[in-house]
Amino acid sequence: MNTFAAVLMVALLPCICINRKALKQEAGSELLYEMKGALELLQRVSAHADASCWYVAWSPAGTLLASCGGDRAIRIWGKEGDSWECKSVLADGHQRTVRKVAWSPCGKYLASASFDATTCIWKKTNDDFEFLTVLEGHENEVKCVTWAPSGNLLATCSRDKSVWIWEVDEEDEYECVSVVNSHTQDVKHVVWHPTQELLASASYDNKVCIYKEEDDDWGCRATLEGHESTVWSLAFDPEGQRLASCSDDRTVKIWKESTPGDGSTDESWKCVCNLSGFHGRTVYDVAWCRLTGALATACGDDGVRVFREDPTADPEQPVFFMSAHVPKAHGQDINCVSWNPKEAGLRATCSDNGEFAIWKYNSDS
């Protein structure tokens, strides 16, 4: 007798993503917006053998790509002719998976965050990277490291639920200036505002926190609630007026800061857009292109997607729709997506299969 016929399907089956190619304007208008774009694969590179590639980051000049992974190494890639080649391997910095890497705004330093609870700082000398120092203090895995646009501040976050803010001086000395414990769970990601000294963090506790310094004290000034599961990543828009968050709840939410007109200093962030129904599984990363304003996502259903904003929508109620979608961009989960800061449309993604891929996005196909 086949007892398997009576299987109880509790597992959440991913919905098949539908590529929405057009958005009709409100009734009466004859315009049909077709913001269809195209994603072209330029190159696929096997970067971290037999291990996940967890993150990729472009250098500020856009000429180098740093990748890091489960093999505990960081690799720096540069273009030679038409292909991306490995320029450096930074292999001895960490004892466990390197989860994220971040370039300093000047491009001379690289920071790496690892499950070994440390953050390493590497200095670029000529064509190679030298180990400079290690930042210790977190009790367990460091999940993210990020440089402030000023170059003087660094933030890290960890499964120990805290966010640490570090200051760096002209002599390359790093000092922790603040430890903030606003989350009740594992903090997955931290990101700085593009122009202000403002930090945002995303957590396993389903919330996003916004931090500012007031009276020499860093603290959480706003908490963004709305996601129904872990928030994995964050990205500010080019002007820094909006924040995109992506989550295990398969949605991407856009938040906007609203200062009430009554003169009070209470800031609140409201969710002004909710992108749901596009992603079949956890959305691990979101990236907002500084040059074009396009929003890219990395998903556990192996697909890459690009969203564009409808230019005619009310800024207080933005409308985004999917402009491009490659369903099986990698053979496994996509962990990261990153727009090149100098070349419009150039994009990198990386996956659990150890690969990264370089793409070209054209907004008009």
Partner 1 sequence: MSGGTRLENANPLIFQRSGERRLTATDEDEDLHCYFDISINDPEHPLSLEELNVVEQMRVNVNDQESMVSVEFTPTIPHCSMATLIGLSIKVKLLRSLPDRFKIDVHITPGTHASEDAVNKQLADKERVAAALENSQLLEVVNQCLSSRAM
Of 37, 93, 226, 300, which lies in the binding site for partner 1, with binding defined by CB under 8 A? Answer: 300
- Which of 19, 152, 332, 365: binder of partner 1 (CB under 8 A)? 332
The Cα 281–Cα 290 span in angstroms is 26
Q: Which residues contact 260 (CB under 8 A, 6 or more apart)?
A: 266, 268
Q: Under rule CB under 8 A, which residues in 257-286 are in contact with partner 1?
A: 281-282
Of the pair 25, 229, the CB lying nearest partner 1 is at 229
- Sign, Cα dihedral of 68, 73, 77, 82: negative
Using CB under 8 A as the binding rule, whether residue 347 contacts partner 1 is answered as: no
- Least gap, CB of 249 to partner 1 (angstroms): 11
Token pair in block for residue 191: 């990101």
Q: Which is nearer to partner 1, 152 or 332 (CB)?
A: 332
For the CB of residue 138, give the shortest distance to partner 1 in the complex, in Å.
Answer: 12
The residues with which 40 forms a beta bridge, in sequence order, are: 360
Q: Pick one of 88, 230, 245, 349: the residue that binds partner 1 (CB under 8 A).
A: 230
To the nearest whole angstrom, how small is the minimum distance from the Cβ of residue 7 to partner 1? Answer: 5
Q: How many chain residues bind partner 1 (CB under 8 A)?
A: 36
Rounded-to-integer distance, Cα 124 and Cα 73, Å: 16
Q: Which residues contact 10 (CB under 8 A, 6 or more apart)?
A: none
Write down the residue that tokens 């907004």 correspond to.
Answer: 363
Residue the block writes with tokens 């989860």? 99
Residue 1, interface with partner 1 (CB under 8 A)?
A: no
Tell me the closest approach of the beta carbon of residue 238 to partner 1, in angstroms. Answer: 28
Asked if 31 touches partner 1 (CB under 8 A), the answer is no
Task: Return the residue of 1, 13, 27, 31 that touches partner 1, per CB under 8 A.
Answer: 13
Per DSSP, helices labelled H in 213-341 are none
Select the residue interacting with partner 1 from 1, 7, 27, 31 (CB under 8 A): 7
Indicate whether 290 belongs to the interface with partner 1 (CB under 8 A): no
Tokens representing residue 91 in the block: 């292999």
CA–CA distance, 87 with 272 (Å, rounded to integer)? 43
Residues 106-125 interacting with partner 1 (rule: CB under 8 A) = 115
Give, in order, the Cα–Cα distances in Å from 14 to each of 281, 282, 321, 350. 6, 10, 20, 21
Q: How far apart are CA 327 and CA 48, in angstroms?
A: 23
Length of the chain counted residue by residue: 365
- Chosen residue from 188, 250, 256, 308 binding partner 1 by CB under 8 A: 188
For partner 1, the closer of residues 225 and 343 by Cβ is: 225
Bridge partners of 146, per DSSP, are 155
Q: Which residues bind partner 1 (CB under 8 A)?
A: 3-4, 6-14, 52, 70, 96-97, 99, 115, 140-141, 143, 159, 186, 188, 204, 229-230, 248, 281-282, 300-301, 331-333, 352-353
